[in-house]
Structure 1
């Protein structure tokens, strides 16, 4: 990891709201005393060896590195970042992202946006079309708050009309982005003509303002060793085509800038390339990436596909999430049962990766000598060469690298943060 000069600066979340959250005790199954607040954890003088296993932890130094590294990567390309904050649902980490220059936060749902606003986020992009009346009532309330900006997506005339009707009495129009989606994907307008027709509908609704276009290329297979990158590039080329057509018709006349946004965590480089061309529009253009997983990276999924993976960059992102699990049983030759399972770690894309054993005060690397074969709710089946001296023994601690951070954070309401000496120096509260 490289030490970096400061990333672009921005305002943190309000200190009083973070302090209030840090003062609230929370049930935390990995701590020796529970419930505890984050503030109490910081003051407790704990180390890794005090934690009840299994325990998922964050690496303090890796977090700092990743926050600075990706912020500087975006700044070097002149692109804004609105990280998908549902990855962590952790106000402390949102604040760190905003401090390092994030333009705003991205939410998947209105409920997430509500949590972000409650903790002082100044701007949230809801990456979905909103049609539920109660949620639109919340958006109407948010539009009356001059200290908060909310945007959302639209991908159908019916959705636009529902939003327009529900927001007819709002204090200001809601800025919306037309969502484009590929055939067979999830939401989003499929055809260019349909997208322009929807833009005309939005532009004619007084309570909405057409603000730009959005796409999420993460619906394509997220790998670099097949035709996926070429498919992503070809599809993302539709975004500039749309904004040129909509601008030529004067459909952005109520906006003060045109937003063009894409970029999950796998292909932000391809999104940046697609959005980087000269658009020659009537208004300034704001290019926004929305990557979220960069904050912790991971050992398998992101390390396989990110442009800042170790195989592709001289200063790569670094895995910052670890699960420590105890060896509970050696029931058969070549197999150990670990005390961590689906309730503790992600398994939706890849199974955990055994990195090392902690034994007798030493860290014994396991790379390439052990694998997790399957998970139950609370157990992992770890296979290995029974004759290897590094074979796990009952009572050993196994250090597991993880895949897909989004489905790790949601399992842990309080995650200890370790310094390089394995001292617990902080705890991150999540709000799923």
Structure 2
């Protein structure tokens, strides 16, 4: 999907290194986002709020987030299919996970690639997030352009142009960027590209899992890499990182035990590297892991850090908690409804129209792979919306296949639970990371189906 939205101009930094949009672009929108709060500079969000974007689920397009918020629209006004956010569940999840991290004594740097939404980043920072996590340098660039004060790039950066951007970012004393290292070859590339940077780039040694993706496999090799970083004037060893999400994300086998054993290496690395004085250029030692499935195991593993010569900052990087979901996160999260007294709630839905009833027991929905996630689970039908009625399906229907723009719904329900052409099916989703990227503007609904907010995504 092509994003033709004008963004705040990144080449004209303000005094803190954030974009400084022209005054005519920034004019305060009629309806600023109540969800966003004050985590990011208001002027930059205002520029985003007033920039038109193609929005296929809105009755008027192109449109702006500010226009959607003030239009008095309702769910019934949307062009379907439409992905929406639930205001109450979204606010609950933001507050609940912030409290959970505080209870664990851990900081949060949410993986912001989940949403790529400045409105939602602002809401996370407003609730005390330490910074944002990016998967790529391009994402970090977008985060900086909207005023994020601190970004951890959870990858080794070895591209010359991206390192040139990092060198420029290092000249801004009010912006803090970090990245990972997992090879001497990568350190050499960074060393060369950043030789003239105004300050060293803080990096974290990444620990990996055999047979999976990036990261040093052996702890002794990781310490050898840390020594190489410590000897490099263009880099500062700032800590150690791992991503336990490479393990199977389930709670009904030996995966949690394997994760616990593997996470012990984080503190072991920190202790041994500190004993050699390898963190000499840092103010604190960052120890970070924690996707959305096992943040509790990470918090437990980091709960008794060794005595080091510097303070330890423990950071969890969950991203999917923000919207949770009906399937993937509901199976794996420590705050799932099956075990938590105050669980996270699904905040992301899709509404799709019944287009056809071609055979007994089958309906075709106007929704497909271009609209919803399908990489882990297919959507789950929650209810039929017929006129002013919401009819729970309670397992009487299931999505069995998705084409690009059609969903195959098999149903056993009879009477009111049997879908008719023209009905709306409310769908719960799985894995929010592969939903947000399909929708450049997402309406936010209250409990009555009124559109009370709208958020942009910038993929």
* Coarse TM-score class (shorter-chain normalised): over 0.9
1:128-173 per-position Cα deviation (integer Å, ceiling 9, x unaligned): 0000000000000000011100000000000011111111110100
Q: Confirm whether residue 162 of structure 1 aligns to residue 197 of structure 2.
A: no
Quote how far apart the aligned CAs of 1:278 are: 2.9
- Counterpart Cα distance in 1 of 2:184 and 2:110: 28
RMSD: 0.9
Instruction: Give the alignment partner of residue 245 of structure 1, picking from 229, 253, 272.
Output: 272
1:8-407 to 2 correspondences below 5 Å:
12-385=39-412, 387=414, 389-407=416-434
- Counterpart Cα distance in 2 of 1:387 and 1:346: 28
Q: Confirm whether residue 430 of structure 1 aligns to residue 457 of structure 2.
A: yes
- Counterpart Cα distance in 1 of 2:157 and 2:74: 45
Match of 2:18 in 1: none
Contiguous gaps of at least 5 residues in structure 2: 1-36
Q: Is residue 391–residue 416 contact of structure 2 (8 Å, CA) maintained in 1?
A: no
Q: Is residue 164–residue 194 contact of structure 2 (8 Å, CA) maintained in 1?
A: yes
1:391-416 per-position Cα deviation (integer Å, ceiling 9, x unaligned): 11100000000000000000000000
SS at structure 2 position matched to 1:273: helix
Quote how far apart the aligned CAs of 1:276 are: 1.1
Quote how far apart the aligned CAs of 1:118 are: 0.2
Match of 2:24 in 1: none
Quote how far apart the aligned CAs of 1:184 are: 0.9
- Counterpart Cα distance in 2 of 1:11 and 1:103: 14
Quote how far apart the aligned CAs of 1:367 are: 2.1
Runs of 4+ residues deviating >3 angstroms = 386-389
Contiguous gaps of at least 5 residues in structure 1: 1-9
Judge which range, 96-105 or 380-389, deviates more: 380-389
Quote how far apart the aligned CAs of 1:386 are: 5.7
Q: What is the TM-score of this pair, normalised by structure 2?
A: 0.91
Q: What is the TM-score of this pair, normalised by structure 1?
A: 0.97
1:42-78 per-position Cα deviation (integer Å, ceiling 9, x unaligned): 1111000000000000001111000000000000111
1:77-102 per-position Cα deviation (integer Å, ceiling 9, x unaligned): 11000000000000000000000000
Q: Is residue 154–residue 178 contact of structure 1 (8 Å, CA) maintained in 2?
A: yes
